[in-house]
Structure 1
Amino acid sequence: MVIGSGATAVTLVPTMAEHAAHVVMLQRSPSYVLSIPAEDRVGAALRVLLGPERAHRVVRRRNIALSRGLFKACRRFPRLMHRVLVAHVRSRLPHHFDVDTHFRPRYDPWDQRLCVAPDGDLFRALSSGRASVVTDRIDRFTPDGILLESGQHLAADVVVTATGLRMLAFERIALSVDGEPVDVADRVAFKSMMLSGVPNLAFALGYSNISWTLKIDLVAEHLCRLLDHMDARGHDIVEPVCDDPDVERFPLLDLNAGYVARGITAFPKAGSSGPWTLAHAYEQDVQRLRHGPIEDPALRFAAAGRPAPVG
């Protein structure tokens, strides 16, 4: 038995079903699940026609455009995309399967992360009978399984808890500036990669709505440009300063998933304007981090032994 309905559970269940007699995915509430091809045949053909390097650039841009297009469609037309995604699941499962109970979420698409099933492996496992889904709440564990609030008892030889993710800001690293502890939750993220009032610190936070590493690449590029800029001008210290009283503060992630709600208050904040904003939008970050200027009115540069200039 696997408890959960997120990406971990959706990945585990079909893999375990290949070896176990039967696998039950026990979920408290449904998630959106989208089937995508495990092998990119278009990409394979382009590699033959264009060569690996050029094909990589084309396929990468196409995949980014598809992912961003799906996200924007879900945000702009949530009711339509809800029907499309649920209909997609219905087309992948037998007619008698209770899709409305197990695969019709109560939230809009991309209010939480969208789960992906390569080649529809989860749906194949459910259709074959090697796996099943139960949507209910747990009352308690028993010696041989789990008792649900509905009164149903699920027997289980092994229980895997694919849930309960706990987010930690900076892995609980204790930050300090000149001996004074830094309350990370009280700081604002500059270009979503540095902290207000904390000099010479950069971090990388990936996207919540597209490949995580796309943002990491952009942050690494911008950090290298920043270091080159400092070397060229003899600067040893760089510090973002958020001294605009009109900048409002918002959570760093805009998902309403339970694990985000439980941990996001310990994270830095995003701001309402300027370099403090955080859009989780790749095309915007390309302009800001890859092509945008290094210097900013909110950045203070200084050489070691000299105070950072104000303004």
Structure 2
Amino acid sequence: MSDLEHLDVLVVGAGLSGIGAGYRLSTMSPTRTWAILEARDSLGGTWDLFRYPGVRSDSDMMTLGFPFEPWTDPDAIADGPKILDYLRQTAEKHGIAERIRLGHKVVAADWSSHEARWTVTVERDGVREQLTCGFLYLCSGYYDYERPHDPQLPGLDSFEGEVVHPQFWPDHLDVAGRKVVVVGSGATAVTLVPALAEAGADVTMLQRTPTWIASLPRQDRVRDVMQKVLPGRAAGTAARYKNVLGTMGVYELSRRRPAVMRSLLAKGAAKSLGSTDLVADHFTPTYDPWDQRLCVVPDGDLFEAVRSGRAHVVTDTIDTFVPHGIRLHSGRELEADVVVTATGLRIKIAGGIAITVDGQARPTGDLTVYRGVMFAGVPNLAVCVGYVNASWTLRADLASRYVCRLLNHMEQNAWRVATPHAPDGMAGQPLLPLASGYVRRAEGELPQQGDAAPWLMRQNYLLDRRDMLRSDVTEAMSFAR
């Protein structure tokens, strides 16, 4: 027998997904031994890593927060520091923090059918060590936290000002009184622009193409009323389902009646901006809403910054950087002291961990998902992937509850191994229903989904809730002792 440390379950990642997984393991599978391995020196994942001005959720906190720890802060759309505090307090309150091993970066996982266990290789203080587990649960999200997307902006080396990427924001960057150009139009850019304007910058958002943007109230008045008339947990549940149904309604309207949704978003933007011309020029994409992720701005802060003249929007493409700014293909030059490259993130499924099964490499791009949680032909491995059209945590929590149901079934029947098996000839299709650049760039790395249950990863919380919490865990699954 191996003398390596062995645990029943290893969770990788101590962000929203990992902390939620820890709670479900401790409450639903209390006899299991488990730990959470976190590569960074603090918990929080995304909310500890991203420190750029204005960083916030783009989902409401009643659904982004945990169902077992309802969000009670007045802000329904919250900033990063508040979310990080919430995660830390939740981890401490429920005894999860003591199970988190910081500075443990998982680099490889090797399954042995003979031993019915994973051998996990971890880098710690520059030294590699190993431990084993019966079940491996990857809760590291699907973004590359070490390397953002680099579009190779032409002539960037000639720029004499400061270049900053939001993923690596300097602690003491002062933008007051400086000309700042934010390159990009996605969720990060629309968050940064009003925050930089508030900090005193003369800020311009340079976008190649517009993005659909919706303004939502920072505070949820209906939730506030619910909190006054219902007990804490009941108020949280009611607000959660109210927002689930509202988000689903917007998504379904976007897919079924895109022209109606385009009109609603354009009218909302025009009302906030006070100009239909600005909407036509800079806030009307060529694609339909939810072909790419819909951006949210709390209380219309981006629109307000543009309307007041504290921020500007330019829709054009970059010809080249010059020493004091950017020359556009139209011939116009944008002066800049600071350029922020909000050009997007890279997808890294399973945290980039090298996965092998009995010595055979199993790259994620060759795999098919089972219930959006496991992979066909890969034993005792689960991955936590949230929704793209709703709050990440909604699906992450369902995934963790499904994993615990499976673990409990295995324990009750003395099974040590569970492996999903896909039917022969099943047609594959893309995992994520978005045409966003970060999804297209990752086509070779993303696993596929099938054409029928249980091989579909639905973007529908109500259907998933039924399937993940009540379905037969033995469907399309083989077990072994």
Do they superpose with TM above 0.5? yes
Instruction: Provide the secondary structure at the position in 2 that maps to 1:295.
Output: coil
1: distance between equivalents of 2:216 and 2:453? 37
Alpha-carbon shift at residue 101 of structure 1 (Å): 1.3
TM-superposed deviation, 1:19: 1.2
Post-superposition CA distance 1:123-180 (Å, at most 9, x none): 1111111001000001111111111111110001111111132111222211100111
What is the percent sequence identity of the aligned residues? 45
* Rounded Cα–Cα distance in structure 1 between residues aligned with 2:262 and 2:370: 34
Counterpart residue number, 1:290: 469
**Does residue 1:81 correspond to 2:277, yes or no?**
no
The answer as to whether partners of 1:252 and 1:264 remain within 8 angstroms in 2 is no
Secondary structure class of the residue paired with 1:274: coil
2: distance between equivalents of 1:19 and 1:273? 51
Which of residues 254, 268, 286 is equivalent to 2:447?
Answer: 268
Output aligned runs, 1:201-216, within 5 Å. Answer: 201-216=381-396
The residue identity in structure 1 corresponding to 2:455 is W
CA deviation after TM superposition for structure 1 residue 289, in Å: 0.2
Contact kept? 1:167, 1:264, Cα under 8 Å? no
2:86 corresponding residue in structure 1: none
**Residues 223-242 of structure 1 deviation map (CA, whole Å, 9 limit, x = unaligned):** 00100000000001011111
**Given residue 479 of structure 2, which amino acid in structure 1 is its aligned partner?**
F
Superposed, which structure 2 residues align to 1:223-242 within 5 Å?
223-242=403-422
Instruction: Select which of 185, 191, 195 maps to 1:15.
Output: 195
Question: Which structure has greater strand proportion?
Answer: 2
Q: 1:142 to 1:292 in 2, by over 3 A?
A: same
> Contact 2:427/2:450 (CA < 8 Å) preserved in 1?
yes
> Which residue of structure 1 aligns with residue 226 of structure 2?
46
Query: Equivalents in 2 of 1:138, 1:43: separation in Å?
Result: 44
Pick aligned residue for 1:69 from 240, 249, 273: 249
CA–CA distance in 2 between the matches of 1:34 and 1:95? 16
2:479 equivalent in structure 1: 301
Alignment pair present for 1:92 and 2:244: no
Residue of structure 1 equivalent to 2:97 = none
Asked if the contact 1:253–1:264 (Cα under 8 Å) also holds between the matched residues in 2, the reply is: no
1:275 counterpart SS class: coil
How far apart are 1:87 and its partner, in Å?
Answer: 1.1
CA contact under 8 A between 1:5 and 1:26: conserved in structure 2?
A: yes
How much does 1:183 deviate? 2.6
* Mapped partners of 1:232, 1:205: distance in 2: 27
Distance in 2, matches of 1:164 and 1:114, equals: 15
State the 1:96 CA deviation.
6.9
Matched residue of 2:381: which SS?
Answer: coil
AA of the residue aligned to 2:239: V
Query: Could you list the runs of 5+ residues in structure 1 that have no partner in the other structure?
Result: 304-311
Query: Aligned partners of 2:372, 2:289: CA distance in 1, in Å?
Result: 24
Paired residues, what number? Answer: 301
Q: Tell me, which stretches of 5 or more residues in structure 2 are unaligned?
A: 1-180
Q: TM-score, normalised by structure 1?
A: 0.95
Query: Take 1:39 and 1:171, find their aligned partners in 2: how far apart are those partners?
Result: 34
Q: Secondary structure at the match of 1:276?
A: coil
Q: Could you tell me whether the CA contact under 8 Å between 2:365 and 2:446 is conserved in 1?
A: yes
Give 1:185 deviation, angstroms. Answer: 1.3
Determine the structure 2 residue equivalent to 1:307.
none
Q: Distance in 1 between matches of 2:261 and 2:300?
A: 19
Q: Which has the higher helix share?
A: 1
CA drift of 1:21 comes to 3.4
The residue type equivalent to 1:300 in the other structure is S
Q: Over aligned residues, Cα RMSD in angstroms?
A: 1.1
- Equivalent residue letter for 1:302: A
CA–CA separation in structure 2 for the residues paired with 1:195 and 1:268: 9
Q: TM-score scaled to structure 2, two decimals?
A: 0.62
Check 1:96–1:219 CA distance in 2 against 1; reply closer, same or farther (3 A cut). Answer: closer
Residue 97 of structure 1: CA displacement?
4.7
In 2, Cα distance between the equivalents of 1:23 and 1:203? 40
2:429 to 241, 250, 271: 250
Looking at structure 1, the residues matched to 453 and 219 of structure 2 have their Cα atoms a distance apart, in angstroms, of 41
Give the secondary-structure state (helix, strand or coil) at the position aligned to 2:394: helix
Which range moves more in the overlay, 93-102 or 117-126?
93-102
| Partner SS state of residue 479, structure 2 | strand
The yes-or-no answer on 1:129 pairing with 2:309 is yes
**C-alpha contact 2:186 2:344 (8 A) present in aligned 1:** no
